[in-house]
Amino acid sequence: MTRAADIHARMRALPVASYDTITGGGPVLVVAPHPDDESLGCGGLIARGCCLGRDLAVAVVTDGTGSHPRSRAYPAPRLRALRENEARAAVAALGLRADRLQFLGIRDTVSPHPDAEPDRFASAAERIAALARAIGAGAILAPWQHDPHGDHVSAHLLAAAAAKQTGARHLSYPVWGWTLPPGHELPDAPLAGYRLDIRAELPRKRAAIAAHASQTTRLIADDPEGFVMPPAFRALFDAAHEVFLHA
């Protein structure tokens, strides 16, 4: 087993590479488990790709309604619409066209896993594979397999299945994985990948994250247990580099 602190250090020491080296230079499909993960984990890469004129698309797996489940002002249908609109504003801030953003609409917190719900999982994986085929994706990006959130693990596995179906390369980006306690132990495994220098893209990435106001502010004030992104967590994604791992 390997301590999370050591894994984090190895991630931060990965070689810096160009956008095309990381992605292969072809079209890219970013799979986000919730609206905002695309901005947190891949905002810099999306902005760089748009600036370079590369073809990208974003698929958001769940509807994001698990963030404020007790809000009366924002019941699930209204919260879903809000979070979709925030995602549209976020990708626009990154330079991505509105027609390159797709929502699978799976209910937040119940994104399928292959062992528990093989039929739902296969259906969702095929939808992602279809989106990848539609743009000719050479790479599919999704969260790291060790992100400590069930929907993130599901998105990782869905992307792996879609990549297998389409022949695309599968890359992982950590989100909640950065929050693993230093002493948390992970299975020993090779760790390879790259970092992308996103200093030039940070203003657009910050704007994209801020567009998710339901997650970064007290916009929804009537659910005391509702999620608000802690400043320390948000700061993790204000770094000079994003990490992309060979999955």
Sequence spans of domains, the chain: 2-246
Give buried/exposed letters for 95-105 (b at 16+ CB in 10 A, else e).
bbeeebbbbbe
Give residue 7's pLDDT: 97
Instruction: Count CA within 13 A, CB hemisphere, residue 64.
Output: 25
At 23 the pLDDT is 98
Complete DSSP assignment for the chain: -EEHHHHHHHHTTSPB--HHHHH-SS-EEEEESSTTHHHHHHHHHHHHHHHHT--EEEEEEE--TTSSTT-SSS-HHHHHHHHHHHHHHHHHHHT--GGGEEEEEEPTT----TTT-HHHHHHHHHHHHHHHHHHT-SEEEEE-TT-SSHHHHHHHHHHHHHHHHHT-EEEEE-SGGGGS-TT-EE------EEEEE-GGGHHHHHHHHHH-HHHHSSSS-S-TT-----HHHHHTTSSSEEEEEE-
The closest alpha carbon to 201, from 36, 44, 40, belongs to: 44
Residue 25: exposure state from Cβ atoms within 10 A (0-12, 13-18, ≥19): middle
User: Tell me, what's the pLDDT at 143?
Assistant: 98
Q: What is the pLDDT of residues 184-194, one digit of tens each?
A: 999 998 899 99
Which pair of structure tokens corresponds to residue 197?
A: 């220098």
* Model pLDDT, residue 43: 98
Flag residues of the chain having pLDDT under 50.
none
pLDDT at 47: 98
pLDDT digits (tens, 9 = 90+) for 77-101: 999 999 999 999 999 999 999 999 9
What does the pLDDT read at residue 93?
A: 98
Residues 6+ apart with CB under 8 A from 5: 182, 183
Domain boundaries 2-246, corresponding CATH code: 3.40.50.10320
The Cα 39–Cα 65 span in angstroms is: 18
